[in-house]
């Protein structure tokens, strides 16, 4: 429930004007939140100049007062930071601290979601990463065999992936502790889970930025996401709730490679109307 401290409220009407669902009104010069159409977006908390609005549904300890020095980032520096990020496939034999993984997840937690649904969750795999790797490679091998035994114009584009998956599984069986091309011997993965691919993808993007800011490397393993789709063994192992989907698999670890510059990209395809 959203609450207004009438002793603090000055009746400025800023919260009324900013409320998208029109759930706030001024009565006798004080804001009143009806809590009927409200979906707890928190704009009223953020905009109130006197800090008169609160909620008993979330922790108010999350709320921080705006500070320009702490909150603003130079636009050119941010763009360069984005340009310099690289997909990482070489990792040091070093664990990632729990505190840093938690901060990466915080970047996801504070990412916007449609209708403020906050329907994104996270699964961190460290101790069980070898077991999960074996299950995923086994799944990919089965998918590869199925593709190669049913080649047609629709499946032909996936032939090279089928062969790659089967080779990955064969190499793993020959040397389970050797270099592999699923998690690349990284120490941890973070699975971003939701019933909304858009919300989970938005969270993942912010999480990647935080990962790089912490000096950690990451890449998104589409192979694992494919391996987990419809695989009951993997879903049961992860205790994934029905209706939830693994949208991204972030493989994380300390980089064992150093890059010296950004890379080029093709020009943006823009239509100005």
pLDDT digits (tens, 9 = 90+) for 171-196: 999 999 999 999 999 999 999 999 99
Could you tell me the CA-to-CA distances from 79 to 46, 146, 210 in Å, in that order? Answer: 27, 43, 14
pLDDT of residue 85: 95
pLDDT for 242:
84
Q: Is 69 within the bounds of a domain? A: no
Classify residue 117: in a domain, yes or no: yes
Residues 110 and 235 in one domain: yes
Domain at 51, CATH number? 3.30.70.20
Do 99 and 192 reside in the same domain of the chain?
yes
In this structure, the answer to whether residues 202 and 103 fall within a common structural domain is yes
Q: Residue 236: inside a domain, yes or no?
A: yes
Does residue 110 carry a pLDDT above 90? yes
Query: Which of these, 250, 263, 260, 194, lies nearest to 221 by C-alpha position?
Result: 250
| Residue 117 pLDDT grade (very low, low, confident, very high; cuts 50, 70, 90) | very high
Q: 119 near 195, Cβ under 8 Å? A: yes
Do 141 and 25 belong together in one domain? no
**Any domain includes 266:** no
Task: Tell me: do 24 and 96 sit in the same domain.
Answer: no
Domain co-membership, 140 together with 155: yes
Q: Say what the pLDDT of residue 65 is.
A: 97
Count how many domains the chain has: 3
Compute the mean pLDDT over every residue in the chain, rounded to the nearest whole number. Answer: 97
197 & 217 share domain:
yes
Q: Residue 249 has what DSSP assignment?
A: E
Residue 42, domain member (yes or no): yes
Give tens-digit pLDDT for 35-75. 999 999 999 999 999 999 999 999 999 999 999 999 999 99
Domain range enclosing 122? 78-130+182-253
Give a yes or no: residue 99 inside a domain: yes
- For residues 124 and 111, state if they share a domain: yes
Rounded to an integer, the average pLDDT of 83-101 is 97
Q: Which residue has the tokens 């905009």?
A: 47
Residues 45 and 121 in one domain: no
Q: Is the dihedral of CA 169, 171, 173, 177 positive or negative?
A: negative
Residues 109 and 187 reside in one and the same domain: yes
Mean pLDDT of the region 135-153:
96
pLDDT of res. 96: 98
In angstroms, the Cα distances linking 83 to 13, 75, 207, 240, 261 are 41, 12, 16, 34, 9
pLDDT at 243: 86
Share above pLDDT 70 across residues of the chain, in percent, rounded to a whole number: 100
The tokens for 260 are 């010296």
Judge if 205 and 234 occupy the same domain.
Answer: yes
Same domain, 113 and 240: yes
Give the pLDDT score at 167.
97
CATH number at residue 235: 3.40.109.10
Token code pair at residue 2: 């959203």
Give 3-25 pLDDT, tens digit per residue.
999 999 999 999 999 999 999 99
Query: Is residue 234 one of the residues assigned to a domain?
Result: yes
Domain assignment present for 258: no
**Residue 241 binned pLDDT confidence (cut-offs 50, 70, 90):** confident
């Amino acid at each position: 429930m959203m609450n207004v401290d009438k002793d603090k409220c000055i009746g400025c009407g800023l919260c009324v004007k900013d409320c998208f669902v029109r759930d706030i009104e001024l009565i006798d010069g004080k804001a009143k939140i009806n809590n009927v159409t409200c979906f707890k977006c928190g704009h009223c908390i953020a905009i109130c100049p006197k800090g008169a609005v609160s909620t008993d549904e979330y922790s108010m300890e999350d709320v921080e007062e705006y500070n320009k020095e702490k909150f603003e980032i130079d636009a050119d520096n941010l763009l360069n930071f984005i340009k310099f990020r690289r997909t990482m496939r070489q990792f040091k034999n070093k664990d990632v601290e729990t505190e840093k993984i938690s901060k990466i997840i915080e970047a996801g937690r504070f990412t916007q979601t449609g209708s403020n649904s906050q329907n994104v969750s996270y699964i961190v795999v460290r101790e069980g990463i070898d077991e999960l790797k074996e299950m995923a490679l086994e799944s990919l091998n089965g998918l590869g065999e199925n593709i190669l035994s049913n080649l047609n114009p629709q499946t032909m584009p996936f032939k090279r992936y089928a062969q790659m998956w089967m080779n990955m599984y064969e190499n793993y069986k020959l040397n389970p502790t050797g270099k592999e091309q699923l998690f690349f011997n990284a120490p941890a993965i973070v699975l971003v889970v939701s019933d909304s691919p858009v919300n989970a993808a938005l969270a993942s993007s912010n999480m990647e930025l935080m990962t790089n800011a912490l000096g950690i490397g990451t890449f998104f393993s589409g192979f694992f996401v494919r391996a987990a789709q419809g695989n009951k063994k993997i879903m049961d192992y992860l205790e994934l709730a029905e209706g939830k989907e693994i949208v991204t698999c972030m493989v994380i670890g300390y980089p064992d490679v150093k890059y010296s510059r950004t890379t080029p990209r093709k020009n943006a395809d823009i239509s100005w109307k």
